[in-house]
């Protein structure tokens, strides 16, 4: 049964795969509000480091609410894109990196220590969830890109 479920998930795109799990409601809402749903449902392959709802709830009070406002759409898109890497990368691939070049443009540091793998300080808690257009790695915190001077 478990194998059949994995095969079913692999037939869905990244967003469909996230939707099949109730721990990504905040991420799905953020992707939608940032206008990024189309890019994550297309044919291009991506690796998504997906923060859980619990990870989003750990952000400083008011941060998420502010980011979800229409006036902050670009900042929200930047934050989401900081969790996405071009190409289909398993944890075996990611574990060989010192950093990951994100769609947002900045590099997120990667650390592999004693059987754990982290990106940008967020630990990967579930890995290699295959989707039709990429792979998802669940992470335990929301990574915030460095503020860029204007």
The Cα 106–Cα 127 span in angstroms is 22
In this structure, is the dihedral angle defined by the CA atoms of residues 115, 9, 4 and 54, taken in order, positive or negative?
positive
Q: Which CATH superfamily groups domain 2-139?
A: FAS1 domain (2.30.180.10)
What is the per-residue pLDDT across 110-150, written as a single tens digit (0 to 9) for each? 999 888 999 999 999 999 999 999 999 999 999 999 876 55
Does residue 6 have a pLDDT over 90? Answer: no
When pLDDT is averaged across residues 37-63 and rounded to a whole number, the result is: 96
d(Cα 17, Cα 62) in Å, to the nearest integer?
Answer: 28
Are the C-beta atoms of 25 and 49 separated by less than 8 Å?
no
Q: In the chain, where are the structural domains located?
A: 2-139
pLDDT of residue 19: 95
Is 1 a residue whose pLDDT tops 50? no
* pLDDT exceeds cutoff 80 at 2: no
pTM: 0.92
86: helix, strand or coil: strand
φ, ψ for residue 142, nearest 5 deg: -85, 125
Q: Given a cut of 80, is residue 9 above it in pLDDT?
A: no
């Amino acid at each position: 049964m478990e194998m059949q479920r994995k095969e079913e998930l692999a037939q869905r795109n990244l967003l469909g795969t996230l939707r099949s799990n109730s721990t990504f409601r905040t991420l799905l809402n953020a992707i939608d509000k940032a206008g990024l749903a189309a890019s994550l449902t297309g044919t291009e392959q991506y690796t998504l480091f997906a923060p859980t709802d619990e990870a989003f709830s750990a952000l400083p009070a008011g941060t998420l609410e502010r980011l979800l406002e229409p006036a902050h759409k670009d900042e929200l898109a930047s934050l989401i894109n900081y969790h996405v890497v071009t190409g289909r990368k398993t944890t075996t691939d990611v574990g060989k990196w010192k950093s990951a070049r994100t769609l947002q443009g900045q590099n997120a540091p990667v650390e592999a220590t004693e059987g754990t793998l982290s990106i940008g300080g967020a630990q990967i808690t579930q890995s290699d969830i295959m989707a039709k257009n990429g792979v998802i790695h669940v992470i335990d915190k929301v990574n915030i890109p460095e503020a860029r001077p204007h």
